[in-house]
A and B are shown apart, each in its own frame.
Chain A
Amino acid sequence: MLHNKVYPFYFTLGTIILYMVFFVIPAVMGLGYAFTDWSRYSSDMNYVGLENYRILISSENNYIHYARNTFLFTLNTIVLKTILGLAFALLLHNGVKHLRSLYRMIIFLPAVLPMVVVGIIFHSVLNPRRGLLNELLRMVGLGAWTQQWLTDPKLALLSIIGVDTWKGAGYIMVILLAGLQTIPAEYYEAAQIDGANALARLRHITIPLLRPALIVATVLNILYGLKIFDTVYVLTNGGPGYSTEVLYTAIFKEFSKGRYGVGTALSSLLFFVMVFIGYFVIRLMEQGRTHD
């Protein structure tokens, strides 16, 4: 066929090969190793059947709790980032008339900072004794609101969610801004003539027409949230105690304890969940894009 000559298959090979080697093969190998007692303490490896999976769901380990934290993190960051991202995007697109790109630039700024650096900075900002946040609260007379942001077990996960939202809201804003720019102005003009107020315009024009962008933003947020690792790792490393441990930090700890078998089992479990969820949400994202 002519098509195969003009658009030759070998163009895709580089991508496919790298993708196979660094994504697919490790994942498939993991499925196999999950049935063994692979550990750093001994050189021989034995088949142990479903033992590793049994360990994962047994109540002596906290994996259910870690899964719950991961879910809470994902849900909350989706809601917060989408609401804030949308509010920022509307403010910049429909609100202010000048200095738009300057504002956009600054709001996106946290997204480009290395997570290690964000971790170090927020360790300091959220320090209960003399961190910037508590100092500010004391300064404006809200001394009673000061908190042990990262070490109070009731608050630590919320603080992590807060920092992650701070870092990621600008990214979502940019996706939504891109979406807003595709909405033709005539729609608004027509609505205006019909006497629709701002809220009605938002509900009946902006949100429906922004749907593809909102879907992209949400899908990226879901996939990011379920795989969350570095924000937790640099802020609390799962603490205090186990209160902010998420699935990926738990996997990482199994790695450091040398229990590779259990670790790969957990990795593989997460892999199945992600592929399952990913299959549906990525299709959704693709469809949103092609049906303009």
Chain B
Amino acid sequence: MKKIAFVLIALFAILSVVSPALDSGSRADARQATTITYLASQDWIRQGELDLAAKFEEETGIHVDYQIIPSDQYFNVLQTKLNTGEGPDIFGGQSGKTDLVVNYDITKNAVDLSDEEWVTRQDPLVTEQVTVDGKVWGMTLWDTSASWVIVYNKDIFAGLGLSVPTTYDEFKAVCQTIKDSGVTPIYEPISDGWHHVLWFPELGPRYEEVTPGLATDLNANEVEFADDPTMLTVLQQLKEMYDLGFFGEFAMSDAYADGPEFMANGEYAMTVRQTAFVNLVESEFDVPASTFGFFVMPLADNQILNVNPAGPSKFIYSGSEHIEEAKEYLSFLARPENLQYNLDNTPEFASINFTGVTPKYSEEEKAFFDAYADKRGTVYQTAVNYLNPQWMEIGQDLSAMFIGDIEPIEVLQHIDQRRADMAQAASDAGWAK
């Protein structure tokens, strides 16, 4: 018995002597080939980009180390690293002016990229969202043309004789008919914590239509979220849909990643996704993309298309030791042939925010976007300050609202409270006491 203990301790001792040696060995390898680290949230990095990273390594010998963090922990981890001055070489972040300032303290933490060649080829509206103090801080590489809309199964609609709803009452009736037929109306993955939030800020164009100038007033702190009746209506309708069982029995534990499966097998009739989602369903489950159609979220009788020039973006950390290599990588990604490759190999993208790429919209998508050519508005997480940084907290509040722990009006009050906290910490003049 004693001998075994001795052996065990000796084993630990040997291992601890040997493993540092192993470690330094591989560290020497690492010095020969540069590695740049890249911290990003789950769902931001698609296969097309990972393939390109491999090609980049082949071409330059620089390895890109992707560190993918689950979405509910991402900001937490990134913040800690930025605050401690130990950021990765490249970090991902949602663009949008307030996010850049409030969430990332971008002028301190990122490298000025204004002079990079690719900036001129990036969609100017998108570039504006990564611009602070007249300087460009990041590269957005995303399908920013994609809007979060309701993707619906045309076969199910046709089978029940339903047409596309244009008001909340019609929408409710459609959902009820679908539910009565034994199909669950809407796939809503609440467990990821962020997806069910889309229903609220993505309806920004409707809030603005009902109350012109609302975003400006909110940014100047002249009005609060809790004062706006349209927002309250949307939350009440969302709660009503949850209570009526339109999201199905298991919404609370449903996962975003399972969406394609449940839309493909016809268990659900609708889900909130970007239009290119139908290509994903086709490529993974052999259900033709033409099975699905699109309409805008009709809560509060909304009929305007929600657009968002902001998206997941890439920033180079100012404290990085590999700024040049990181710039090289971004330039590599932005080469026209690589942009096209990225687009072609990412089923979730129908376009990408650079000039010179050939988008892959289907007839269906083209017709849909054309129909809303004159009826578009910017979503509120981009138009209104201090909203996007609290996305996950809003998600938790909405879940609490669904299970009846808090009222819709309290969700709005909490949003106002958190905005005030952030604005005061950022010494925003509108919130000065």
Contact between B425 and A39, CB atoms less than 8 A apart:
yes
Are A41 and B422 also in contact (CB < 8 A) when A240-B403, A242-B405 are?
yes
Contact between B250 and A153, CB atoms less than 8 A apart:
no
Collect the chain A residues with CB atoms within 8 Å of residue B427's CB.
Answer: 42
Contact between A241 and B403, CB atoms less than 8 A apart:
yes
Collect the chain B residues with CB atoms within 8 Å of residue A238's CB.
Answer: 396
Q: Nearest Cβ in chain A — how far from B277, in angstroms?
A: 21
Nearest residue in A to B426 (C-beta to C-beta)? A41
For residue A278, CB closer than 8 A to chain B, the reply is no
Contact between A42 and B425, CB atoms less than 8 A apart:
yes
In the complex, which of the residues A40, A42, A256 has the most CB atoms of chain B within 10 Å of its own CB atom? A256
For residue B249, CB closer than 8 A to chain A, the reply is yes
Contact between B250 and A148, CB atoms less than 8 A apart:
yes
Q: Nearest Cβ in chain A — how far from B108, in angstroms?
A: 9
With beta carbons under 8 angstroms apart, the residue of A60, A151, A237, A242 that contacts B252 is: A151
Q: In whole angstroms, what is the CA distance A241 to B399 when docked? A: 5
Contact between B403 and A127, CB atoms less than 8 A apart:
no
For residue A150, CB closer than 8 A to chain B, the reply is yes
Q: In whole angstroms, what is the CA distance A152 to B421 when docked? A: 31
CB-CB contacts of B318-343 with A at 8 A, as 1s and 0s? 00000000000000000000000000
- Considering only residues 236-292 of chain A, those with a C-beta below 8 Å from chain B are 237-243, 252, 255-259
Nearest residue in B to A131 (C-beta to C-beta)? B253
With beta carbons under 8 angstroms apart, the residue of B79, B191, B405, B426 that contacts A241 is: B405
Nearest residue in B to A127 (C-beta to C-beta)? B253
Nearest residue in A to B70 (C-beta to C-beta)? A237
Collect the chain A residues with CB atoms within 8 Å of residue B417's CB.
Answer: 60
Q: Nearest Cβ in chain A — how far from B422, in angstroms?
A: 6
Are A258 and B396 also in contact (CB < 8 A) when A41-B425, A127-B253 are?
no
Collect the chain A residues with CB atoms within 8 Å of residue B253's CB.
Answer: 127-129, 148, 150-151
Contact between B79 and A40, CB atoms less than 8 A apart:
yes
Contact between A243 and B76, CB atoms less than 8 A apart:
no
Contact between B76 and A42, CB atoms less than 8 A apart:
no
Collect the chain A residues with CB atoms within 8 Å of residue B225's CB.
Answer: none
For residue B402, CB closer than 8 A to chain A, the reply is yes
Are A256 and B406 also in contact (CB < 8 A) when A41-B426, A240-B399 are?
no
Are A242 and B102 also in contact (CB < 8 A) when A148-B253, A258-B79 are?
no
Nearest residue in B to A260 (C-beta to C-beta)? B83
- Considering only residues 2-60 of chain A, those with a C-beta below 8 Å from chain B are 37, 39-42, 60
Q: Nearest Cβ in chain A — how far from B392, in angstroms?
A: 8
Q: Nearest Cβ in chain A — how far from B238, in angstroms?
A: 14
Contact between B405 and A153, CB atoms less than 8 A apart:
yes
Contact between A255 and B76, CB atoms less than 8 A apart:
yes
Collect the chain B residues with CB atoms within 8 Å of residue A259's CB.
Answer: 421
For residue B57, CB closer than 8 A to chain A, the reply is no
Interface size, chain B (Cβ < 8 Å): 32
Q: Nearest Cβ in chain B — how far from A119, in angstroms?
A: 11
Q: Nearest Cβ in chain B — how far from A239, in angstroms?
A: 6
Nearest residue in B to A126 (C-beta to C-beta)? B253
Nearest residue in A to B422 (C-beta to C-beta)? A41
Are A41 and B102 also in contact (CB < 8 A) when A242-B396, A257-B393, A258-B79 are?
yes
For residue B72, CB closer than 8 A to chain A, the reply is yes
CB-CB contacts of A53-74 with B at 8 A, as 1s and 0s? 0000000100000000000000
Interface size, chain A (Cβ < 8 Å): 27
- Considering only residues 77-110 of chain A, those with a C-beta below 8 Å from chain B are none
Q: In whole angstroms, what is the CA distance A39 to B80 when docked? A: 12
Q: In whole angstroms, what is the CA distance A37 to B421 when docked? A: 11
Collect the chain A residues with CB atoms within 8 Å of residue B250's CB.
Answer: 128-129, 148, 151
Q: Nearest Cβ in chain A — how far from B421, in angstroms?
A: 7
Nearest residue in B to A152 (C-beta to C-beta)? B252
Nearest residue in B to A242 (C-beta to C-beta)? B400
Q: In whole angstroms, what is the CA distance A241 to B196 when docked? A: 13
Q: In whole angstroms, what is the CA distance A40 to B81 when docked? A: 11
In the complex, which of the residues B193, B252, B422 has the most CB atoms of chain A within 10 Å of its own CB atom? B252
Q: In whole angstroms, what is the CA distance A242 to B193 when docked? A: 12
Nearest residue in A to B417 (C-beta to C-beta)? A60
Are A243 and B405 also in contact (CB < 8 A) when A148-B252, A148-B253 are?
yes
Collect the chain A residues with CB atoms within 8 Å of residue B399's CB.
Answer: 239-241
CB-CB contacts of B63-102 with A at 8 A, as 1s and 0s? 0000000001101100110010000000000000000001
Nearest residue in A to B262 (C-beta to C-beta)? A129
With beta carbons under 8 angstroms apart, the residue of B72, B79, B191, B397 that contacts A151 is: B191
Q: In whole angstroms, what is the CA distance A109 to B19 when docked? A: 27
Nearest residue in B to A236 (C-beta to C-beta)? B191
Q: In whole angstroms, what is the CA distance A195 to B425 when docked? A: 75
- Considering only residues 175-193 of chain A, those with a C-beta below 8 Å from chain B are none
Nearest residue in B to A55 (C-beta to C-beta)? B421
Are A42 and B426 also in contact (CB < 8 A) when A60-B417, A257-B393 are?
yes
Q: Nearest Cβ in chain A — how far from B200, in angstroms?
A: 16
Q: Nearest Cβ in chain B — how far from A63, in angstroms?
A: 15
Nearest residue in B to A238 (C-beta to C-beta)? B396
Collect the chain A residues with CB atoms within 8 Å of residue B193's CB.
Answer: 237, 239
CB-CB contacts of B235-252 with A at 8 A, as 1s and 0s? 000000000000001101
Q: In whole angstroms, what is the CA distance A255 to B77 when docked? A: 10
Q: In whole angstroms, what is the CA distance A239 to B405 when docked? A: 12
Q: In whole angstroms, what is the CA distance A279 to B406 when docked? A: 39
- Considering only residues 151-171 of chain A, those with a C-beta below 8 Å from chain B are 151-153
Q: Nearest Cβ in chain A — how far from B70, in angstroms?
A: 10
By a beta-carbon cutoff of 8 Å, the part of chain A in contact with chain B is 37, 39-42, 60, 127-129, 148, 150-153, 237-243, 252, 255-259
What 7 additional pairs, Cβ within 8 angstroms, besides A127-B253, A243-B405?
A41-B426, A42-B427, A240-B399, A240-B400, A241-B397, A255-B80, A256-B79
What are 6 A-B interface contacts by the 8 Å CB criterion?
A41-B102, A151-B253, A240-B400, A242-B400, A243-B403, A255-B80
- Shortest Cβ-Cβ A-B pairs, 8 listed: A241-B400, A151-B252, A256-B76, A41-B425, A241-B399, A151-B253, A153-B403, A241-B405
By a beta-carbon cutoff of 8 Å, the part of chain B in contact with chain A is 72-73, 75-76, 79-80, 83, 102, 190-191, 193, 249-250, 252-254, 393, 396-397, 399-403, 405-406, 417, 421-422, 425-427
